[in-house]
Amino acid sequence: MSKSGYKIKSVVKAMKVLEQFKEKKELGTTDLSKKLDIPKSTMFNILYTFTELGYIQQTKYDKYKLSTKIFELSQSIEYDLRNEAKPYLRKLSEATRETINLVLHMEEKVLYTEKVESQEPININTKIGKKEDIYCTAVGKAILAFLKQDRQEKIFEKITFHSHTPNTITDLEDLKEEIITIKNRGYAVDNEEFARGVKCVAAPIFDYKGDPISAVSITGPAERMDSKGIERLASLVKENAMDISNVLGFGS
């Protein structure tokens, strides 16, 4: 029997319902029934079950939205990732003496979840718990480049471009060309696109399914990160990201 034969169809159907809330915060029974081609009575039962389990809640407008229980599950994923990654982030910090950041993918944003401070006098101010745009950060572009095409397209639709610096990519076609380059070489560069005087090189971290769920980066002042320096750092960050990916089950 193929692995697909082990799938429980009712579970697959129910999870597809949950996934719809990524695109719209509130949805009704009729909306979901039409979109997924599921009978309204079946959809009602699915929504009722998720409500009873606490994963969604009904709003006053007779619609449904995700509950904080889903957030609690995502926090668990973040906690596990941080714990698994910490030794590798410290190793990368020792090898480069620059600021090391770990982020989690959050659709058109990235969430900074862990940081190892630079050992150099000039440090880079990034904050754990802060979300930033996916299109103007090396970590964001590294993740975006390796997402499946349908997920890329959904994110492209959500991006609202802002010019953080004169180097920020603010055109969708330019961004698409950039992520092709990133995928080919295996790493992304923030060439003072998010903040003046700051450069960054990042590589994606993959889960056991091969999806880029996170990224690790090396960040430093532009004066310390010339083209030769970035090539050396890119090799180190790619190796580090792959080590973390392997711990998460990638390639097994």
Which residue, chain included where needed, has tokens 């995502």? 74
pLDDT score recorded for residue 77:
60
3-class secondary-structure state, position 136: coil
Are 56 and 103 in a shared domain? no
pLDDT score recorded for residue 12:
87
Residue 160 and residue 40: Cα distance in Å, rounded? 35
Q: Which residues pair with 58 in a beta bridge?
A: 64
Q: Which residues pair with 195 in a beta bridge?
A: none
Q: Is residue 40 part of a domain?
A: yes
Both tokens of residue 238?
A: 């790619």
Domain count, the chain: 2
Q: Which contacts qualify for 12-15: CB closer than 8 Å, 24 or more apart?
A: 13/38, 13/42, 13/46, 14/46, 14/49, 14/50
Q: Is residue 114 part of a domain?
A: yes
Are 60 and 183 in a shared domain? no
Enumerate residues 6+ apart whose C-beta is below 8 A from 87: none
Are 60 and 144 in a shared domain? no
3-class secondary-structure state, position 207: coil
Where does the pLDDT of residue 121 fall: very low under 50, low under 70, confident under 90, or very high at 90 and above? low
Q: Is residue 252 part of a domain?
A: no
Q: Is residue 2 part of a domain?
A: no
Are 197 and 89 in a shared domain? yes
Q: What is the pLDDT of residues 177-205, one digit of tens each?
A: 999 999 999 999 999 999 999 999 999 99
- Sequence-ordered strand ranges (E) for 15-88: 56-58, 64-66
Q: Is the pTM of this model over 0.85?
A: no
Q: Is residue 3 part of a domain?
A: no
Closest CA to 218 of 136, 115, 121: 115
Q: What is the pLDDT of residues 16-68, one digit of tens each?
A: 998 888 777 889 999 899 999 999 999 999 999 999 998 899 987 789 998 87
Are 52 and 119 in a shared domain? no
Q: Is residue 4 part of a domain?
A: no
Are 17 and 110 in a shared domain? no
Are 84 and 46 in a shared domain? no
Most confident of 23-27, 73-77, 151-155: 151-155
Are 140 and 196 in a shared domain? yes
**Is 60 exceeded by the pLDDT of residue 1?**
no
Are 90 and 59 in a shared domain? no
**Is 70 exceeded by the pLDDT of residue 166?**
yes
Task: Write the CATH number for 26.
Answer: 1.10.10.10
Are 132 and 242 in a shared domain? yes
Structural domain harbouring 226: 76-247
The Cα-based distances of 211 to 34, 143, 149, 246 in angstroms read: 29, 9, 12, 12
Are 102 and 46 in a shared domain? no
Task: Write the CATH number for 143.
Answer: 3.30.450.40
Q: Is residue 50 part of a domain?
A: yes
Q: Is residue 208 part of a domain?
A: yes
Are 62 and 87 in a shared domain? no
Q: What percent of the chain has pLDDT over 70?
A: 92
